[in-house]
Amino acid sequence: ALAAGDPLGALRRVALRQDPAALALRGIAMAQLGDFAKAKTLLKSAARAFSPREAVARARCVVAEAEIALVSRDLGWPEKALRAARATLHAHGDRVNAAYAGSIEARRLILIGRLDEAERLLAGFDPGPLPPVARVAHELAAAGIAVRRLRTKAARSAFGRASLAAYEAKIPALRAEVEAASLVLNTPVGRQIAQGSEKLLPLDEVETLLASGAFVIDACRNVVREADKVVSLASRPVLFVLARTLAEAWPGDASRETLLR
């Protein structure tokens, strides 16, 4: 029932059971229903209840907890626990859940800006043999990296693969998640100010602008760039504000009063 996206059906099957497996299933079901606090409590109880010999089951509980932390944007959740769980799953031959754990870890790394690590992690997994739900997680992580790298074509391809996998999984909530995430491709993500006019830019136009070799004051990353040359002014905010003010006034001049504000 859980694999089919039917948490209520799963709860009906295990509602009266108190064994570790039932607690874990109830925790995952509650997470799918959006009650993350209850889900975490149940998963922690399940992990404690499994015996030391049931390392795989305990590792799966850790992965489920990590996914809840990711969805609720609890970025302080201990990443070492997830890595240890992934290693345990891999060592015991559970490659599907190990790959899924890797996708969760990659998505967390993306959120905290560690794109290189996330990219290396994903490169170690072939999503082809994975079941649909795991492929969705992998492709969403790949799309997240591509979006932040301003690789629109790669992002569109990854979202497309995620969408196909979500439809194959036949889980409406999963399809909705992919559709919501892919909106970034058609939503304005930048604002271009040039010669006194403003224009909102979608992702592909931002990519085109930065690849054009034009002189750009990038207020998102606090850098000044032209072609392949990039100078970071993140640690020099006053200088960046001056550069931005002069750029916004170009081709005219910025008044002394404006510069001294």
Contacts of 36 (CB under 8 A, 6+ apart): 30, 68, 71, 72
- In the numeric block, which tokens belong to residue 9? 């059906």
Is the per-residue pLDDT at 46 higher than 80? yes
Confidence of residue 154 (pLDDT cuts 50, 70, 90): very high
- In the numeric block, which tokens belong to residue 126? 């072939």
Q: Residue 256 burial by CB count (10 A; 0-12/13-18/19+): exposed, middle or buried?
A: exposed
The per-residue pLDDT for 167 is 93
Give the rounded percent of residues in the chain with a pLDDT score beyond 90. 46
Confidence of residue 49 (pLDDT cuts 50, 70, 90): very high
Contact 154, 203 (CB under 8 A): no
Distance, in Å, from the CA atom of 179 to the CA atom of 162, rounded to the nearest integer, reads 9
Confidence of residue 29 (pLDDT cuts 50, 70, 90): confident
The per-residue pLDDT for 152 is 96
In this prediction, residues 111-128 reach a mean pLDDT of 90
- In the numeric block, which tokens belong to residue 39? 């889900």
Which of 5-9, 82-86, 240-244 shows the highest mean pLDDT?
82-86
Higher local confidence (pLDDT), 185 or 251: 185
Distance, in Å, from the CA atom of 102 to the CA atom of 134, rounded to the nearest integer, reads 10
CA triplet 173, 177, 180: central angle to 5 degrees?
135
What residue segments make up the domains of the chain, in order of their start? 7-185, 190-259
In this prediction, residues 170-177 reach a mean pLDDT of 87
Residue the block writes with tokens 């990039």:
230
**Average pLDDT score over the chain:** 88
The per-residue pLDDT for 140 is 94
Contact 2, 32 (CB under 8 A): yes
The per-residue pLDDT for 171 is 83
Q: Residue 253 burial by CB count (10 A; 0-12/13-18/19+): exposed, middle or buried?
A: exposed
DSSP 178: H
Confidence of residue 3 (pLDDT cuts 50, 70, 90): low
Q: Which letter, b or e, does each residue of 233-247 get, where b requires 16 or more Cβ atoms within 10 Å of its Cβ? A: beeeeeebeebbbeb
The per-residue pLDDT for 4 is 60
Give the rounded percent of residues in the chain with a pLDDT score beyond 70. 96
- Pairing, β 229-232 against β 223-226: antiparallel
Residue the block writes with tokens 């399809």:
175
Would the pTM of this model clear 0.75, i.e. be above it?
yes
In this prediction, residues 99-125 reach a mean pLDDT of 91
CATH number of 7-185: 1.25.40.10
The per-residue pLDDT for 170 is 85
- In the numeric block, which tokens belong to residue 59? 């590792």
Contacts of 142 (CB under 8 A, 6+ apart): 122, 154, 158
In this prediction, residues 123-144 reach a mean pLDDT of 89
The per-residue pLDDT for 176 is 92
Strand partners, 153: none
- In the numeric block, which tokens belong to residue 7? 């948490």
Residue 232, SS3 per DSSP: strand
Distance, in Å, from the CA atom of 26 to the CA atom of 40, rounded to the nearest integer, reads 10
> Which residue type sits at 148?
R
Is the per-residue pLDDT at 1 higher than 70? no
